[in-house]
């Protein structure tokens, strides 16, 4: 009987037949897919014909179709709907996959063919896109260690295998800590909490089989609890648990794992001839060097810290007026910031949330995509991996463009955070294929589901990533969609956030969940006026995390990452009442894999561009200017990684921006 993962999928749009796939299917499917992929690689490497772009580079692009099916299916459910069986499979798969892909990158015969093509690149008749794919393929082999020999080659394979296992352990430890902790909330402890927080806590209690409402470590619950609970003792308990994830001792402690990861990364970089992992990692990014990253972060740090210090004095005074003596603590900031926001902007999140219904915010994102790019979204009735998921057929001018899947609600089986992934990327070779794109979020479930303003911003952010995938229009999947420099990939997502704040968008879609009435004009005005509220806090917690990440990788790996973290924070004068957005033991961006390692700064690097890019719309015909929208699609959203990121931005804007646009956008300097 054919494994359902590897069978021909006759489902609509060839979506994975999740209803037919069991956890028992993944391991045998992976073994079969790896064997098939290895056979394809051997055929390419041992081809007696001289190397050509078609028989080597395009052959590599076409290979591994079964691997793509297995890995896209498995990692979709492993991240968004995990269970003990899938966690065990992840632990087993990590070293196997590392060995498999390391075997390809260290295949000397294969690398020789790629290197031969690279040496003859000027004599080959290649399109610009083909030349780009050749360069990236050659560079990828070299950076993976293909040019290493003997003991160095062997050690590189060992390092990559160990790093893969450590990243999986880090992620699973974090998920375990998030899943296991909860705090009961007896009826007396619900006092002062808005109804939406109480409802979320009751739903969390139901999921955990508790006797009543609970606080969990899901961001969609713990952040509003810290904002609204008048019980300082409970806020302190919840905050300490939240920030202790991955640092609770025992089997789920991530501190030693982080130290080993940093040591292995440094060794890997030095095997390849780099002085540090940061030098290795940043070579392919827009920033290029650690010094340029540090310069950007410090340009932002100084005004952000100044604003945060001034805000801390105000919040401390408010706390003292409540009869609380002593310094402002990290579990106090959100509570008093929320009170201050209500006082200064007369904006109450409890009153605001009914106007930010999830379904209406999805409609708003779709409507913006329609006005900007002509996309239409039609609901699909197809089997998906979880009942919470929903899907849409994305078309333009009657032509199928993509399938978009939304998985919006928090649950114990889903890792924290929000992300966008493609179960299938766009490509024209070896065959035409439209992308299947997933947005995963962790919003509180309700009837109806109501969002905070930050939640709504997250929805728009992830949908910006989805547009980058859906509007991709290149030949080769390896450079399609979000296959771009890490410090460029956040540009489309952060840029799309701006459309949430377009007054006409909120006026149309921010309608009350019960009455259907549009958001009152005075509330709309307050929302937009308060958009930069507490930016000192938000910028400080982010930049501190980015500076710690950079310090971990720029130079010798610290034997004690926690001590290094403390040293960096002391050196920059980290305000006592603000914690890092992601402290080391739960810094999944950096330690769950190499994606954002030495690269957490990327959000801010992209924000420098997104502030400037939206200004281009405002300087033209407004947020929905058709000419600017076409330029954005033609030069950024459709082009994937077919050109250098800097060239793509220059083609769109005509120049590169300075940091001033970001500082003005965050309200940290006068506009």
Q: How far is CA 486 from CA 270, 423, 441, 622, in A?
A: 22, 19, 21, 29
* Interatomic CA distance for residues 455 and 19, integer angstroms: 30
**pLDDT exceeding 70 applies to what percent of the chain?**
100
Same domain, 361 and 482: yes
Q: How far is CA 362 from CA 52, 366, 508, in A?
A: 47, 6, 13
Q: Note if 462 is an active site residue.
A: yes
Structural domain contains residue 168: no
Q: Is the sign of the CA dihedral 342, 346, 351, 352 positive or negative?
A: negative
Tell whether omega for the bond before 14 is within 30 degrees of 0, i.e. cis. no
* Interatomic CA distance for residues 443 and 84, integer angstroms: 23
CATH classification at residue 92: 1.20.1050
Q: Name the residue with higher pLDDT: 147 or 349.
A: 147
* Interatomic CA distance for residues 291 and 280, integer angstroms: 13
* Interatomic CA distance for residues 61 and 476, integer angstroms: 7
Same domain, 18 and 131: yes
Collapsing DSSP to helix, strand or coil, 377 comes out as strand
- Phi, psi values for residue 419, rounded to 5°: -155, 165
CATH classification at residue 548: 1.10.1370.10
Residue 89 confidence (pLDDT) above 80: yes
* Interatomic CA distance for residues 86 and 71, integer angstroms: 13
Contact 422/436 with Cβ under 8 angstroms?
yes
Structural domain contains residue 164: no
428: its two tokens: 């024209």
Mean pLDDT of 378-399: 97
Confidence at residue 670, expressed as pLDDT on a 0 to 100 scale: 80
Same domain, 376 and 478: yes
* Interatomic CA distance for residues 462 and 234, integer angstroms: 32
**pLDDT exceeding 90 applies to what percent of the chain?**
95
Same domain, 261 and 384: no
Confidence at residue 262, expressed as pLDDT on a 0 to 100 scale: 98
530: its two tokens: 């308060």
- The residue out of 551, 567, 600 marking a domain boundary is 600
Confidence at residue 349, expressed as pLDDT on a 0 to 100 scale: 86
Residue 620 confidence (pLDDT) above 80: yes
- Phi, psi values for residue 80, rounded to 5°: -105, -15
Mean pLDDT of 344-366: 94
Residue 1 confidence (pLDDT) above 80: no
How many other C-beta atoms are found inside a 10 Å radius of the C-beta of residue 635?
Answer: 17
Same domain, 560 and 493: no
Collapsing DSSP to helix, strand or coil, 131 comes out as helix
Residue 603 confidence (pLDDT) above 80: yes
Same domain, 95 and 143: yes
Same domain, 482 and 434: yes
* Interatomic CA distance for residues 119 and 122, integer angstroms: 8
| Residues contacting 534, CB < 8 A, separation 6+ | 311, 337, 341
Q: Which residues face 475 on adjacent strands?
A: none
Question: Token pair 């690097």 is at which residue?
Answer: 605
Collapsing DSSP to helix, strand or coil, 537 comes out as helix
Give the model confidence (pLDDT) of 38-79 as tens digits.
999 999 999 999 999 999 999 999 999 999 999 999 999 999
Same domain, 337 and 378: no
Tell whether omega for the bond before 459 is within 30 degrees of 0, i.e. cis. no
**Exposure of 240 by Cβ count < 10 A (0-12 exposed, 13-18 middle, 19+ buried)?**
exposed
Structural domain contains residue 153: no
* Interatomic CA distance for residues 391 and 404, integer angstroms: 6
Contact 221/215 with Cβ under 8 angstroms?
yes
- Phi, psi values for residue 199, rounded to 5°: -60, -40
Residue 416 confidence (pLDDT) above 90: no
Residue 671 confidence (pLDDT) above 80: no
Structural domain contains residue 654: yes
Same domain, 431 and 544: no
The total number of structural domains in the chain stands at: 4
Confidence at residue 539, expressed as pLDDT on a 0 to 100 scale: 97
**Which residues constitute the domain of residue 51?**
12-147
Contact 393/380 with Cβ under 8 angstroms?
yes
Q: Which residues face 216 on adjacent strands?
A: 182
Q: Which residues face 393 on adjacent strands?
A: 378, 403
Same domain, 228 and 259: no
pLDDT band at 228 (very low <50, low <70, confident <90, very high): very high
Q: How far is CA 609 from CA 494, 599, 602, in A?
A: 9, 16, 11
Q: How many helices (H) and strands (E) does the chain have?
A: 27, 7
* Interatomic CA distance for residues 651 and 631, integer angstroms: 8
* Interatomic CA distance for residues 536 and 256, integer angstroms: 32
- Phi, psi values for residue 142, rounded to 5°: -60, -45
* Interatomic CA distance for residues 280 and 3, integer angstroms: 40
Q: Which of 61, 266, 462, 490 is catalytic?
A: 462
* Interatomic CA distance for residues 409 and 404, integer angstroms: 16
Confidence at residue 498, expressed as pLDDT on a 0 to 100 scale: 96
Collapsing DSSP to helix, strand or coil, 30 comes out as helix
What's 190's DSSP letter? G
- The residue out of 573, 600, 627 marking a domain boundary is 600
Same domain, 267 and 217: no
Q: How far is CA 450 from CA 179, 385, 446, 612, in A?
A: 23, 23, 7, 31
Collapsing DSSP to helix, strand or coil, 145 comes out as coil
Same domain, 38 and 136: yes
- The residue out of 147, 163, 193 marking a domain boundary is 147
pLDDT band at 529 (very low <50, low <70, confident <90, very high): confident
* Interatomic CA distance for residues 170 and 150, integer angstroms: 31
How does strand 214-216 pair with strand 182-184?
antiparallel
Residue 361 confidence (pLDDT) above 90: yes
- Phi, psi values for residue 246, rounded to 5°: 80, 5
Structural domain contains residue 175: no
Q: Which of 473-487, 516-530, 570-584 has the lowest mean pLDDT?
A: 516-530
Structural domain contains residue 3: no
* Interatomic CA distance for residues 425 and 470, integer angstroms: 9
Structural domain contains residue 67: yes
Confidence at residue 661, expressed as pLDDT on a 0 to 100 scale: 83
Give the model confidence (pLDDT) of 172-208 as tens digits.
999 999 999 999 999 999 999 999 999 999 999 999 9
Contact 444/410 with Cβ under 8 angstroms?
yes
* Interatomic CA distance for residues 263 and 281, integer angstroms: 15
Angle at which helices 290-321 and 535-553 pack, to 10 degrees?
140
């Amino acid at each position: 009987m054919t494994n359902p993962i590897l069978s021909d999928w006759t489902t609509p749009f060839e979506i994975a037949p999740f209803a037919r796939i069991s956890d028992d299917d993944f391991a045998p499917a992976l073994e079969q897919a790896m064997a098939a992929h290895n056979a394809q690689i051997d055929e390419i490497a041992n081809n007696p014909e001289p190397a050509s772009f078609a028989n080597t580079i395009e052959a590599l692009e076409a290979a591994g179709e079964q691997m793509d099916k297995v890995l896209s299916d498995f990692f979709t459910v492993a991240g968004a709907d995990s269970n003990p069986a899938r966690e065990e499979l992840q632990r087993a798969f990590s070293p196997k996959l590392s060995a498999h892909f390391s075997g390809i990158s260290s295949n000397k015969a294969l690398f020789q063919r790629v290197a031969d093509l690279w040496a003859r690149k000027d004599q080959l008749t290649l399109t610009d896109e083909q030349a780009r794919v050749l360069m990236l393929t050659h560079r990828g082999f070299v950076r993976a260690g293909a040019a290493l020999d003997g003991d160095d080659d062997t050690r590189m394979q060992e390092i990559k295998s160990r790093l893969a296992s450590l990243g999986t352990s880090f992620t699973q430890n974090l998920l375990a800590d998030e899943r296991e902790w909860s705090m009961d909330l007896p009826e007396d402890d619900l006092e002062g909490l808005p109804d939406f927080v109480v409802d979320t806590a009751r739903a969390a209690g139901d999921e955990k089989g508790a006797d009543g409402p609970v606080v969990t470590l899901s961001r969609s619950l713990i952040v509003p609890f810290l904002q609204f609970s008048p019980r300082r003792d409970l806020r302190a308990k919840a905050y300490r648990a939240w920030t202790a994830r991955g640092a609770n001792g025992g089997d789920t402690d991530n501190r030693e794992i982080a130290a080993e990861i940093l040591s292995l990364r440094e060794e890997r970089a030095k095997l390849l001839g780099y002085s540090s992992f940061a030098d290795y990692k940043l070579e392919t990014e827009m920033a290029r060097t650690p010094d340029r990253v540090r310069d950007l972060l410090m340009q932002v740090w100084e005004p952000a810290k100044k604003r945060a210090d001034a805000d801390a004095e105000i919040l401390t005074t408010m706390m003292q007026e409540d009869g609380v003596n002593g310094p402002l603590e990290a579990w106090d900031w959100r509570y008093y910031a929320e009170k201050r926001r209500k006082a200064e902007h007369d904006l109450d999140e409890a009153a605001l949330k009914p106007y930010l219904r999830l379904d209406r915010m999805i409609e708003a994102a779709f409507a913006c995509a329609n006005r900007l790019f002509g996309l239409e979204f039609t609901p699909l009735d197809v089997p998906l991996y979880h009942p919470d998921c929903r899907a849409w057929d994305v078309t333009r001018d009657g032509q199928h463009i993509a399938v978009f899947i939304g998985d919006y609600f928090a649950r114990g089986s889903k890792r924290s955070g929000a992300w966008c992934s493609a179960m299938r990327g766009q490509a024209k070779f070896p065959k035409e294929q439209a992308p299947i794109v997933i947005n995963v979020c962790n919003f509180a479930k309700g009837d109806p589901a109501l969002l905070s303003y930050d939640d709504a911003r997250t929805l728009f952010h992830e949908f910006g990533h989805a547009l980058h995938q859906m509007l991709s229009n290149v030949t080769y999947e390896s450079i399609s969609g979000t296959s771009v420099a890490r410090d460029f990939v956040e540009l489309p997502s952060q840029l799309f956030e701006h459309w949430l704040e377009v007054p006409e968008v909120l006026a149309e879609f921010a309608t009350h969940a019960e009455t259907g009435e549009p958001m009152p004009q005075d509330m709309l005005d307050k929302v937009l006026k308060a958009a930069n509220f507490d930016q000192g806090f938000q910028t400080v917690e982010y930049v501190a995390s980015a500076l710690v990440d950079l310090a971990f990788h720029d130079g010798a790996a610290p034997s004690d990452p926690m001590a290094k973290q403390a040293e960096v924070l002391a050196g920059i004068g980290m305000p006592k009442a603000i914690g890092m957005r992601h402290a080391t033991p739960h810094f999944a961006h950096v330690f769950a894999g190499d994606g954002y390692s030495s690269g957490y700064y990327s959000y801010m690097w992209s924000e420098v561009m997104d502030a400037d890019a939206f200004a281009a719309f405002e300087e033209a015909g407004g947020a929905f200017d058709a000419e600017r929208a076409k330029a954005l699609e033609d030069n950024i959203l459709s082009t994937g990684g077919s050109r250098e990121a800097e060239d793509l931005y220059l083609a769109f804007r005509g120049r590169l921006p300075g940091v001033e646009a970001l500082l003005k956008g965050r309200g940290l300097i006068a506009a």
